[in-house]
Amino acid sequence: MTVTVSVSGVDKNYRKVRALRDVSFDLIPGRLSALVGHNGAGKTTLIKLMLGLIRSDRGAIRVMGQDPAAGEFSARRLLGYLPENVAFNAALTGRETLTFYARLKQIKPSKAWALLDRVGLADAADRRVGTYSKGMRQRLGLAQALLGQPRVLLLDEPTTGLDPALRQTFYEILNELRDDGATVLISSHALNELEDRAEHVLIMNQGRLVAQGTLTELRSLSQLPIRVTFDLAGGGNDEAAVSIAGEINSSPCRRTVLVSDEKGKMDLLRAAANDPRVENIEIAAPTLDDLYAHFLNTQEKAA
């Protein structure tokens, strides 16, 4: 598979602040990647590097085969970017603003206006951006990022300020683009939102890439236990089939068991399914939140 964005061994310092330390990863088409980390973990710095707005101190960055900082900007026509705090000139209308950006990407403005509809700005298109609410500016930001069917989308905190309905549309649009073969990178704090959407997760902490992989890979890497909870009928405290090592937090009619891997989980489930007293089974795999906290802790302990 072709790599659209490759970052290898990148260091970046702002005077004394070490913003990035030896970061390497690849992004491939048709995949939605999530870049997660605290404020100041280096997420925005990383995105700026991929845009060529700043230069790395060490290492190489390639976006669609080009070095973004080298001043070759043909690749940027296929690139969509939504900054963290998107801002526009307040004097122009939404339509004029989008027209300007469409022209820069050499797209017919009339084609671009359909995007205003798409993000729900059709009614406000001819009002000045200065009168827009934060959510509306975010929508306009989204519209400009989607100009010209981008092959690489870099979105810095895209859903802050979006209402739930638009959030839904937003992910629908992203899914379409991704299915179409676009590379999507979302930096976000909203981990639960990305949980079932991101196919690839990059966890950053203090300028380092702490872990990366699919959710399944990260789960097995973290060795965080899977939590299986049983509801028992009758409340009998006799030996149940489900009593396996690692049991915690037991009450007569509700037992929670932690298992370390998929095999253990399946063994447990088979046993439980044969036990007539088991009324219900709940399984909770480690969430992105759990994984994030885990990798942060292990890294900070190691440091």
Q: Note whether 144 binds other proteins by CB under 8 A.
A: yes
DSSP 262: H
CA contacts within 13 A on the Cβ side of 244: 20
Give the nearer residue to other proteins in terms of CB position, either 67 or 96.
Answer: 96
Let me know: does 132 contact 94? Beta carbons within 8 Å.
yes
Work out whether 136 is an interface residue with other proteins (CB under 8 A).
no
Beta-strand pair 58-63/208-213: unpaired
Backbone angles phi, psi at 263, to 5 degrees: -65, -45
223 in contact with other proteins (CB under 8 A): no
> 44 vs 206, which CB is nearer to other proteins?
44
Using the minimum distance from each CB to other proteins, give the nearer residue, 52 or 158: 52
Interaction between residue 55 and other proteins (CB under 8 A): yes
Q: Which stretch binds other proteins (CB under 8 A): 98-106, 219-227, 247-255, 292-300?
A: 98-106
CA distances in angstroms from 171 to 5, 83, 142, 178, listed in the order given:
21, 17, 11, 10
Q: Which residue has the tokens 């209402």?
A: 163
51 binds other proteins (CB under 8 A): yes
Per-residue b or e along 161-172, where b marks 16 or more CB atoms closer than 10 Å to that residue's CB: bbeeebeeebbe
CB of 67 to other proteins, least distance (A): 15
Shorter beta-carbon distance to other proteins: residue 60 or 233: 60
Q: Which of 60, 70, 91, 248 binds other proteins (CB under 8 A)?
A: 91
Q: How far is CA 180 from CA 149, 152, 159, 177, in A?
A: 9, 11, 21, 5
Q: If binding is defined by CB under 8 A, does position 62 make contact with other proteins?
A: no
Q: Which parts of 65-163 fold into alpha helices (H)? A: 94-104, 109-118, 134-145
Stretch that binds other proteins, among 21-29, 103-111, 170-178, 210-218 (CB under 8 A): 103-111
Return the DSSP state at 128.
B
Nearer to other proteins, 104 or 114 (CB): 104
Among 17, 60, 70, 104, contact with other proteins (rule: CB under 8 A): 104
Among 4, 10, 63, 83, binds other proteins (CB under 8 A): 83
The CB-of-141 to other proteins minimum distance in angstroms stands at: 8
Q: Tally the residues of the chain.
A: 303
Interface with other proteins (CB under 8 A), residue total 30
CA distances from 49 to 59, 75, 92, 156, 216 (A): 11, 14, 29, 13, 29
Q: Which of 194, 220, 210 is nearest to 34 (CA)?
A: 194
Q: How far is the CB of 152 from other proteins (least distance, A)?
A: 11
Task: Provide, rounded to whole angstroms, the least separation between the CB of residue 91 and other proteins.
Answer: 4
Q: In the complex, which residues of this chain contact other proteins (CB under 8 A)?
A: 48, 51-55, 71, 73-74, 76-77, 79, 81, 83, 85-89, 91-92, 96, 100-101, 103-106, 141, 144
